Structure 1
Amino acid sequence: MKRQPLAKTIAATCAGLGALLAINPAFAQGYYVDEQSALRLGDAFSGGAASASDASAAYYSPAAMLLVRDELAINVAAISVRSELKGSAETGDGSVPVSGDDAEADNLDFLPTLYFVRNLSEGFSAGAFINAPYATGTDFGDDSIARYQTTESEITGIDAGLSLAFRVHEKVSIGGSIIAQYMNAKTAVAINTAALCLGELDAATCGSLGIDPANLGSTTYDGTFVMEGHNTAFGFNLGALVEFTPHSRLGLNYRTRIAHELTGSATVEFPAAAETFTNLAGLESTKADGRVQFVTPETANISYFHQLGNLSLQADASWTKWSRFDKLQVESRNSTVAALASAPQVYDWNESQRFALGANYQLNPQLTLRGGFALDMTPIDKDKTKIDFAFDDYKAISLGMSYVLTEAMTLDVGYQHTMTQKRDIDQNDLATAGARLHGEVTTEVNSFAAGLRWAL
């Protein structure tokens, strides 16, 4: 037996481990999290760039800050996500069942946000924000049938920004933001060591190396591959607001892509029972450097707002260049990590569109009620569905309210229910991760947010 060919085979078989960001279903499409404002959650974020409803305009629509009072707003959102696969997994030649628990995950994430707007002079406003528009995670566990595709993943993307708005005409304002974006991501996956051996060597030889073929599909010889990386990069927002009348306006906003080189560590561990085989293959338990290029996509939206007495109506259409998320390639100077991540993880997403309609009704001077509906088109083709991204078109219904507690303080509450998403999956990774996963993935999302606004 020659060591180098076996190592090459294992490198090819483990190519699916090369994704640093195995990001699981988020709360809008892709991995963006909508829940950045309690007020806007209540109307399905239908106001977009034209709302000017509160200090969150500093993030969503800087040009609209001129219509916002001097204000500080804090919010906390709680997002419940449940994902479950009803299906099975196979390994080897595709006929050996993968044993393990059902692939299901329940997550409850809390996201705080902070917004500030100050009118500095006539026709000139400034604002600031801190929020987490990319923040999610899922833990399927080390023993699930999906462990060779993913066991755990987390992503945290925190934006901090400064915004300015100028009135350039009595009916036209422009604005922009400078954004500092911190990204941290972690992924973990099981290595199907038994399948690696049996894919290259006969059963008797694997047995002599300590890999019992009878344990194929079990966790007995599973290794682990964990990567975590982080980076800070910069981008910006640009927007405009056109006020046709005091009660009717149109907003435009564009947010740039932000390119990251996430750097961190990769940890590879193999069980003692598999050491003879992994040593022969040129692989070892190790912790080493790793990096990957990652881009959060640009997005553009157009919004309309119209006031009819106590009733206001809002509409928003947005576009996101999710084709930025095409593939992820991990690089490392360590030979084991480089072998396990020798090929990129391919996603090949498409651009997508989101549409939202909403309404606000001021029932009395203290209480405003709101509601909305949103449709977010999936950027993922059916044949590219993965357990990490097994979502269909995102349909959500929102309800909310604002209550004036004092002259200076207002309470905002919002709730959003996402229609149950079901997506068929046939993730055939026999040639990469040594396993095939198929069935139907069901995802349920419910979001609640509360916030306080102080007039300054």
Structure 2
Amino acid sequence: MKHSILSRAVRLCSAGLPALLLSSLASAQGYYVDEQSALRLGDAFSGGAASGSDASTAFYAPAAMIKVKDEVVINVALIDVSSELDGSAETVGSAPITGKDAKTESSDLLPTFYMVRSLSDGFSMGLFVNAPYATGTDFGDDSIARYQTTESEITGIDAGLALAFRLSDKVTVGGSMIAQYVNAKTAVAINTVAACLGSEVETALGCDDVGIDTSTLGTDELDGSFVMEGHNTAFGFSAGALLEFTPESRLGLNYRTRIAHQLSGSATVEFPDEAATFMALAGLENTEAEGKVQLVTPEVANLSYFHQFGDLSLQADYSWTKWSRYDQIQVESRNSTVAALAAAPQVYDWTESQRIAVGATYQLSPALTLRGGVAMDSTPIEDDKTKVDFAFDDYKALSLGMSYGITSDLTLDLGFQHTMTQQRDIDQNDLTTAAARLQGEVTTKVNSYAAGLRWAI
């Protein structure tokens, strides 16, 4: 009987678990964070593969480094994100899930470093350290969304060496080697009462007789918890070309490869003391064990155009991201409790996304440069795949920025981007897995700020 109890009980505990390491990566689109340059934030990240505007080009498009003067750049970006569900939650038997509203607010600081130096005529080198995958969500362990997710965070750090070679007056090629470190921590609540009610314990013995007070269904009084933290370092590369039609007009291409990670770490499962008898019957235990999950940061391709009209420059960018890499996520562990709770993979079935941005820069005076831009990005998340922590719709963003020459060798860059408020309906029905269903509308707001200093070397 124990195996049957276990299989039916864990079916009502496990929906959120495999998803955790992915849901912790949520940002405006997918989980990529574009705010890696104060200067480029000001023009909506338009023309990045062609403009060669500053040393961040070492990351965005190595071939265009040939247009960058020798310099070192340090940036700090602040990303303010708020997300709130206006809706309701229910568990088995249509019982309401009680708790605080599912909402979160976060302010993430992202520092970056870049350097570009000409080694000889037509040969440039660049270095970069940045955090293109970095964000977090914290709904708390007492929100109505706790059976989908309670807390998640990620730190993804890239470090790379980039090279650019001029093949002719009109053609430059470039590429970079990238070392990528990812660390993720996630947590979800386990609906212990619903798990018992869905098992043979209720039929054979009665949940109340084994210490599970069924009157607490929908409250967090007897909730268990699952926490997992993992990390890994993997490698990839980028490659591209810069085509200069005239001294004022150029086209840039760049491609960044996918980087596959196997995040390894520890998984911790805890249930309250009142659930000890039920856990023993179901074959579950409080434990800390090793676990792992496969995670891929996807390929990105960029096509950019730049044209200079005296003091005014115009630029545009088209980017494509292969978000279909995210079809499902599966946590693996040799521990029987962790393996049982994470037995069912979380299905995403994302689609490719496309982003278009246009921007302009105007040299107002020898010391002051103004810039602005707009961007539009299609969401990779289809309506029936929308989740409370992935409720992002197609987004539109407006950017403003400026650069001020403090001295002949030192320049201050400032950038701001406002993402239009996103609202998306969700009906996240996990009743047969996590014993929870969320319905309503998720509203997400994002504002990004950045400041940077450029030193000529």
Task: Give the alignment's TM-score, normalised by structure 1.
Answer: 0.98
3-state SS of the aligned residue for 2:7? helix
Kept after mapping to 2: 8 A contact 1:49/1:61: yes
Which residue matches 2:58?
Answer: 58
Which residue matches 1:368?
Answer: 369
Deviation at 1:279, TM superposition (A): 1.3
The whole-number CA distance in structure 2 between the counterparts of 1:410 and 1:333 is 54
Kept after mapping to 2: 8 A contact 1:24/1:389: no
Deviation at 1:24, TM superposition (A): 4.8
Which residue matches 1:175?
Answer: 174
Kept after mapping to 1: 8 A contact 2:225/2:270: yes
Equivalent AA in structure 1 for residue 313 of structure 2: S
The whole-number CA distance in structure 2 between the counterparts of 1:368 and 1:426 is 47
Percent same amino acid among aligned pairs? 71
What are the superposed Cα offsets for residues 244-272 of structure 1, whole Å, 9 maximum, x if unpaired?
A: 01110000000000000100000000001
Which residue matches 2:71?
Answer: 71
3-state SS of the aligned residue for 2:398? strand
Deviation at 1:25, TM superposition (A): 6.9
Pairs within 5 Å for 1:5-404: 5-16=4-15, 17-24=17-24, 26-93=26-93, 95-200=94-199, 201-202=201-202, 205-404=206-405
Deviation at 1:213, TM superposition (A): 1.2
Equivalent AA in structure 2 for residue 46 of structure 1: S
What are the superposed Cα offsets for residues 347-405 of structure 1, whole Å, 9 maximum, x if unpaired?
A: 11001100000000010000000000000100000000011110100111000000000
What runs of 5+ residues in structure 1 fail to find an aligned partner?
Answer: none
3-state SS of the aligned residue for 1:439? strand
The whole-number CA distance in structure 1 between the counterparts of 2:28 and 2:139 is 20
Pairs within 5 Å for 1:410-421: 410-421=411-422
Kept after mapping to 2: 8 A contact 1:126/1:163: yes
Kept after mapping to 2: 8 A contact 1:28/1:376: no
What runs of 5+ residues in structure 2 fail to find an aligned partner?
Answer: none
The whole-number CA distance in structure 1 between the counterparts of 2:344 and 2:196 is 19
Deviation at 1:18, TM superposition (A): 2.1
What are the superposed Cα offsets for residues 418-453 of structure 1, whole Å, 9 maximum, x if unpaired?
A: 000001000000011110011000000000000000
Which stretch of the first structure deviates more once superposed, 263-272 or 204-213? 204-213
The whole-number CA distance in structure 2 between the counterparts of 1:328 and 1:449 is 33
**Cα separation, partners in 2 of 1:77 and 1:70, compared to 1, 3 Å:** same
The whole-number CA distance in structure 2 between the counterparts of 1:423 and 1:48 is 30
Kept after mapping to 1: 8 A contact 2:258/2:296: yes
The whole-number CA distance in structure 2 between the counterparts of 1:324 and 1:22 is 12
3-state SS of the aligned residue for 2:39? helix
Kept after mapping to 2: 8 A contact 1:22/1:153: no
What are the superposed Cα offsets for residues 185-234 of structure 1, whole Å, 9 maximum, x if unpaired?
A: 11100000000011124387000011111100001110000001000000
The whole-number CA distance in structure 2 between the counterparts of 1:170 and 1:28 is 39
3-state SS of the aligned residue for 1:64? helix
Kept after mapping to 2: 8 A contact 1:289/1:334: yes
3-state SS of the aligned residue for 1:138? strand
Kept after mapping to 1: 8 A contact 2:24/2:185: no
Deviation at 1:11, TM superposition (A): 2.7
Equivalent AA in structure 2 for residue 439 of structure 1: G
Which stretch of the first structure deviates more once superposed, 16-25 or 217-226? 16-25
The whole-number CA distance in structure 2 between the counterparts of 1:31 and 1:273 is 38
3-state SS of the aligned residue for 2:206? helix
Kept after mapping to 2: 8 A contact 1:48/1:316: yes
The whole-number CA distance in structure 2 between the counterparts of 1:27 and 1:198 is 36
Kept after mapping to 1: 8 A contact 2:22/2:329: no
Equivalent AA in structure 1 for residue 70 of structure 2: D
Kept after mapping to 1: 8 A contact 2:25/2:154: no
Kept after mapping to 1: 8 A contact 2:147/2:188: yes
The whole-number CA distance in structure 2 between the counterparts of 1:288 and 1:24 is 20
Deviation at 1:14, TM superposition (A): 2.5
Kept after mapping to 2: 8 A contact 1:49/1:302: yes
Which stretch of the first structure deviates more once superposed, 340-349 or 16-25? 16-25
Deviation at 1:13, TM superposition (A): 2.3
The whole-number CA distance in structure 2 between the counterparts of 1:407 and 1:18 is 53
Equivalent AA in structure 1 for residue 278 of structure 2: F
3-state SS of the aligned residue for 1:208? helix
The whole-number CA distance in structure 2 between the counterparts of 1:232 and 1:18 is 20
Equivalent AA in structure 2 for residue 272 of structure 1: D
Kept after mapping to 1: 8 A contact 2:76/2:111: yes
Deviation at 1:21, TM superposition (A): 1.1
The whole-number CA distance in structure 1 between the counterparts of 2:87 and 2:27 is 23
Over the aligned positions, Cα root-mean-square deviation in angstroms equals: 1.0
Q: Across the two proteins, how many residue pairs are aligned to each other?
A: 454
Equivalent AA in structure 1 for residue 83 of structure 2: S
The whole-number CA distance in structure 1 between the counterparts of 2:440 and 2:99 is 15
Task: Give the alignment's TM-score, normalised by structure 2.
Answer: 0.98
Kept after mapping to 2: 8 A contact 1:165/1:175: yes
3-state SS of the aligned residue for 1:136? strand
3-state SS of the aligned residue for 2:144? coil
Deviation at 1:27, TM superposition (A): 4.1
Equivalent AA in structure 1 for residue 237 of structure 2: F
